[in-house]
Amino acid sequence: MNRRLFTSVLFACLLPFMVQAQQAVFRFAQLTDIHLSPNNPNPTEDLLRSIAQINATDSIDFVLVTGDIAEEGDRTTMEKVKSCLDLLKVKYYVVLGNHETKWSDSGCTAFGEIFGGERFEFEHKGFLFLGFNSGPLMRMAYGHVVPQDIRWMTETMERYNAGNSRPDKPVILVTHYPMTEGDVDNWYEVTDAVRPYNIRLFIGGHYHRDRDLRYDGIPGILMRSNLRDKDEKPGYGIYEITEDSILVHTQRIGEPKRQWAAFSLTDSYYDRNGKAEKYPDFSVNKEYAQVQEQWIVQTGAGIYCSPAVEKDKVFVGDDLGRLTAYALKNGKKLWSFQSGKRIVGTPAVSEGIVVFGSADCKIYGLDAQNGNLLWTVEAAEPVLGAVTIENGIAYIGASDHTFRAVNIRTGEVKWAFAGVRGYIETKPLVTDNKVIFGAWDNTLYALNKADGKELWKWTGGLTRMHFSPAAVWPVAADGKVFITDPQRAMTAIDIETGNTVWRTFQSMVRETIGLSEDKERIYSKTMNDSIVCYSTKGDQPHKLWASNVGFGYEHAPSMQVEKNGVVFGSTKEGLIFALEAATGKVLWKHKTGNSLISTVVPLDNNRVLLTATSGETGMLKFKIKK
């Protein structure tokens, strides 16, 4: 064979491999932490400048957008973000950030409507990209990946591998939060679930700066914010996938890109048969062995509301829009009703009727015995508020700037107050002749219970939406309404006039409050370790006791509840605790998981009901040691 013929044959033999190698080379961009705001034009300008430069850059195959796209998580701003992103000449894929999940007038449903879903999957030149929500959803807590998303990830990777000639497809996972302790409460569940697969990289944002991390050994990249830096330069990420590496660059506007990380596509970074390097510590359960889990049900979906109970049934709403009844005795599922979208607000039940709101823009009344639909009330926007029922009337707020009073037997709207500026998620206080609630507009409202007429509004000088008294469940005693707010203050407000009686920052509380059964004490959770107790009497704050429960840094909006002289509370990391009401003495603690426990429901001297973001609902049984 002559040399020319040999070369031709060799080229023909190698051509498929050369084409395969050539196809495996591509580039994509990452935009993150855009924070568009109706009150600041700079983030919009920064985004448009970045989009223009991406469009002018050769060989960008697609763009990943990794959350915090809107400062206040509202639909209008997200639609504006989309109109900007639509200027890109290439396809883009978006995941939610905490600013879209914690603050959302739609219960996070608008994001999916605008961008086509809350997660994405696509294959590009031999790589599988999976993007998913890392929370938290509506409740201030650490990030969380819900059970159904973990299940979706593993099932999707199995499906792609099963149908591919190369069964070990390389995967890049896209989130907002890093999968680390202190950022995502169930990081270990995520890393354990994906570890058996060929995960080459996690890509995220959140920290607003470049970070090269390891999530139980798996490489993780956090990219700088798109917002202009101290040099007034917006920026974004550029990733180059070569034949054997992933190269990571930061690209500032008008400058050459700067490489700052690289990862091999052939080396192993973690043990695919291993486990997470660290798990949550459950040793507290041995210390307080008098507390037992009588029953725990894993529902398979995130839960953001507290349970409601009547007679022998427990009612729980979930992320998949289901309202489910369980047997109080053993947790057996009795029936389930499917609403159109997720349930965020805590339901209420009275006279055999369960009432709840759904992000599908409806308020529902169900027969508590069998789950049959009795009536619905239509709202113009999602209904995220918790429900309070008194004397056959359900009180509930929605995101259509309206608060309603509904007859639970007929579904007739007794009255509707349409003067709310923000959206409502709280459980309203119904006391004497008033209904009192906060909204995400810096305002606490007091309405006449009989006709819904406004009696007063309190703003307390709050100027930022994020400081609103909107997650706290207000309580009242001694002629005052008591609230806490994200500005880390506790406030007493005159219940007749709406004037501030006192306001204190001394205990660094946030969005939780509780009232003693005799109405002489209020309780709140500080942001570090302690529960504090104040007197309801007088016109000055008077702290009665503070108890170091040892729960660490804390900012979850789960209320304190007193029952038979015992104060119950819970945290963002799965801890439930009981204190002696008069003194604050710690009676017991129990850790059921590592995610947010919503406001618990004590039943009597030895039982308490719980729900968790991670999908559990259950009952603890305990003995109080004298």
> CB count, 10 Å around CB of 117?
13
The helix/strand/coil state of 155 is helix
d(CA 271, CA 291): 37
- Would you state the torsion angle of the CA atoms of residues 423, 429, 431, 433, taken in this order, to the nearest 10 degrees? 10
Checking if the pLDDT of 191 tops 70, the result is yes
At the top level of CATH, the class of 21-264 is alpha beta
d(CA 402, CA 562): 31
At CA 200, angle to CA 198 and CA 202, rounded to 5? 120
pLDDT tens per residue, range 77-125: 999 999 999 999 999 999 999 999 999 999 999 999 999 999 999 999 9
pLDDT tens per residue, range 206-252: 999 999 999 999 999 999 999 999 999 999 999 999 999 999 999 99
In order, the DSSP letters of 479-534 are TEEEEEETTTEEEEEETTT--EEEEE-TT-B-S--EE-TTSSEEEEEBSEEEEEEE
Checking if the pLDDT of 264 tops 80, the result is yes
**pLDDT confidence bin for 164, thresholds 50/70/90:** low
Backbone Cα Rg of the chain: 26
**pLDDT confidence bin for 11, thresholds 50/70/90:** very low
Beta strand 26-31 with 62-66 is parallel
The arithmetic mean of pLDDT across residues 61-68, rounded, is 98
With CA atoms as reference, report the closest residue to 265 among 200, 326, 205, 209: 200
Whether residue 296 contacts residue 620, with contact meaning beta carbons closer than 8 Å, is answered with no
Q: Is the dihedral of CA 187, 189, 190, 191 positive or negative?
A: positive
Cα first-last separation, the chain: 97
With CA atoms as reference, report the closest residue to 339 among 136, 109, 619, 146: 109
d(CA 205, CA 227): 12
Q: Can you give the pLDDT at residue 19?
A: 38
Total residue count of the chain as it appears in this document: 626
- What string of H, E and C letters represents the secondary structure of 57-84? CCCCCEEEEECCCECCCCHHHHHHHHHH
At CA 202, angle to CA 125 and CA 30, rounded to 5? 70
**pLDDT confidence bin for 52, thresholds 50/70/90:** very high
**pLDDT confidence bin for 411, thresholds 50/70/90:** very high
pLDDT tens per residue, range 472-522: 999 999 999 999 999 999 999 999 999 999 999 999 999 999 999 999 999
Residue 515: both structure tokens together: 């009232």
